[in-house]
Amino acid sequence: MARSYLSEARRRGLGRRTERIGPLVARLAAEHADAAIALRFRSDVELLISVMLSAQTTDVNVNRVTETLFRKYRRPQNYLAVPVEELERDIYATGFYRQKAKSIRGAMRVLLEEFDGRVPRRLEDLLRLPGVARKTANVVAAELGQAQGIVVDTHVRRLSQRLGLTRNDDPVKIERDLQRLVPRADWARFPHLLIWHGRRVCIARRPLCESCVLVDLCPAARIDALPADA
């Protein structure tokens, strides 16, 4: 699917990816000026926990759980001071609660033993935390103002392909493609722009091409939605 969109971009004469990325970012930024992380947190530790809990569930669900969770667990030590079964009950509604509880406790232990209880900024340090893979590490680093990569979730993957920015399906390879295209100053906000555009306009089952600000730059756009002079 992604490969055909790259071919379609050439067929429609939309220009090279490097030529389109500037206008793409600028239009998305103007259209979704409020694009930001939907998770609610008040500290670096709460950010880390929220992102870990968000796997395989919605941000709305995570926020519902953490509203109570963060009143009970305020520091890394608190997650280790209760029986694991109690933590499992407290995060049960986020799904995969046994694995998440194990990962959270492991991550908090490493924070205390190796980082004085503080969430590290460097990607390589974040990846040393149990349960923290590259996507989680990228989200945390970016929200802490230290973006060292580009978050690739399902929306970013789908829209990057539809926009003809990558022919890859593997998230690591997609990230590599985007890092070569997107200016480093935009690495943190670019995923948010694609995520919100995917939720509001480029909906998987029924993309609203007729109201999309990228329609004349998108090789996946419906022909009938293109401007008359496109």
Annotation marks residue 34 as catalytic: no
d(CA 84, CA 105): 8
Contacts of 12 (CB under 8 A, 6+ apart): 219
Annotation marks residue 135 as catalytic: yes
Q: Which residue has the tokens 């593997």?
A: 170
Residue 165 tokens read as 């920015």
* Active-site residue, from 59, 125, 153, 216: 153
CB 199 within 8 A of CB 42: no
Instruction: Give DSSP secondary structure letters for 181-196.
Output: HS-GGGTTHHHHHHHH
d(CA 28, CA 36): 13
CB 8 within 8 A of CB 218: no
Dihedrals phi, psi of 131, to nearest 5 degrees: 80, 0
Residue 2 tokens read as 């992604």
Residue 104 tokens read as 């959270």
Which positions are catalytic? 135, 153
